[in-house]
Structures are given as C-alpha cells and as structure tokens.
Amino acid sequence: MLNTTVTTPPAIESISLTIAKQHCRVYHSLDDATFGTGSVGSGLISAAREMIESEIRGPIINTGYTSVFDDFPTTRELVLPRSPLVSVASVTYVNSASAIITLSASTVYMVKSFNGMGRILLRDTASWPSDLHAGPEGVVTVVYTAGYGTTVAEVPVSLRHAQLLQIATLFEFRSTLSPGTITLVPEVIKRLVSQYSNGNYI
C-alpha cells in the first residue's frame, strides 16, 4: 500500500483571476465567484489546476507531500510518487519497538532527481533497516516537496496554457457535460501537458 497526501498546499495559483477572465473574454465582475479569487482552493482556477495535476500526475506549483509505504523497497532505491522533486525533508520508519526512527541523509541515503523523478538512494555502505514494526501497514514515511517552482514565471508555459484552456472549458460548460458533446479534459490539453506527465504517479 502507498498513501500520498498533500501536507503543504501550493502557496499561489499559477493563473490569476485577471488572466483567467481575459482568456475567457469576461470583462465584468458578475462571474468572479465562479472563477474564484485566484487564491488557492477557490473556484474554477483551482479546479482546473487540480485537473491538470491529475492529468500530469504531479503538482504545478511547489507542494508539500507525505508518502507512506508499507516497507522499504527490495532494491536500493525508493521512488517518490510526485514529481518534479524539489527536496526531501525526512525519511522515517517505525521500528520493532514502535519507536519512530529518522534515517540520516549523511550516512544512510542520498536524494537524486532524474528528469524530475525523485529517488532516495542508499549510500554504498548502507542498507535499509530490517527492524520494521510488524504492523499495522504504513511504517515508512517520506516528507518532501515537489513542483515546478514557487512563482508563476517558473511554471512551464504549456502547463499555464493548459490550465487556461481547462478553465475556459469548465466555464463554458458549467452544467453536467452531455455524452458526445465534449470531453472533460480535451485532447489539445492532453497534448500540451503530455511531456510533463509522471508515469510513476500513484
């Protein structure tokens, strides 16, 4: 079992209310509540970002995650399910005495990112701990940050444009979509974001 949760939401949206309205050719304030304020967690702007993140299987703006694993891997690397990796805050496990042990980055593991995909690699002289708690599940925890940056300028233009197209789709089709009329995530958006898709997302 692998369980990944957002522990630190993105601090900003990559699309502002002004830009979203300009893209949709809306020049009044009547639909501001529908678009949202541009702050995280409000309206179509946030909904569209979440849809794009689901499509690429990773975050746009830097986001903090906690991933919980049932065990250490049988190989010498632990692959993180959200990318692109920014940093790893901690790797901990519950030992046979029910104590939470923090692994040392200086002696046990190193952090690497290959094409954005984050990996925790054992150092040459180290091995994964063998004294894991027998149960329950979820005894290995990794806290880390992933995303393309903390500012709008750091987000790839294709991802920003895809989010704008998704905002427009949701705005124009505000009721339940009828079968055969339009797909929830149009093909052009999928093509825009395909190069940023993380295939190992779970």
Query: Which phi and psi (to 5°) does residue 85 adopt?
Result: -70, 135
* Between 154 and 2, the higher pLDDT residue: 154
Closest by CA to 141, choosing from 83, 91, 193, 88, is 91
Query: Which phi and psi (to 5°) does residue 134 adopt?
Result: -70, -20
pLDDT of residue 202: 42
* pLDDT grade for 28, boundaries at 50, 70 and 90: very high
Find all residues with CB under 8 Å of 155, minimum gap 6, and list them.
14, 60, 61, 148, 149
* pLDDT grade for 201, boundaries at 50, 70 and 90: very low
Mean pLDDT value across residues 177-182? 56
**CB-count burial class (<10 Å; 0-12, 13-18, 19+) for 116:** middle
pLDDT of residue 108: 96
* pTM, full prediction: 0.86
Mean pLDDT value across residues 82-103? 94
pLDDT of residue 191: 84
Measured CA to CA, the distance from residue 199 to residue 73 in angstroms comes to: 19
Sign of the Cα torsion 77, 83, 86, 89 reads: negative
Cis peptide before 84 (omega within 30 of 0): yes
Mean pLDDT value across residues 113-128? 90
* pLDDT grade for 72, boundaries at 50, 70 and 90: very high
pLDDT, averaged across the chain: 88
Mean pLDDT value across residues 66-75? 93
**CB-count burial class (<10 Å; 0-12, 13-18, 19+) for 49:** buried
Asked if pLDDT for residue 117 goes beyond 90, the answer is: no
The answer to whether 123 and 115 are in contact (CB under 8 A) is no
User: Topology of domain 2-60+151-196, per CATH?
Assistant: Hypothetical protein yqbg (1.10.3230)
Mean pLDDT value across residues 128-140? 85
The answer to whether 131 and 94 are in contact (CB under 8 A) is no
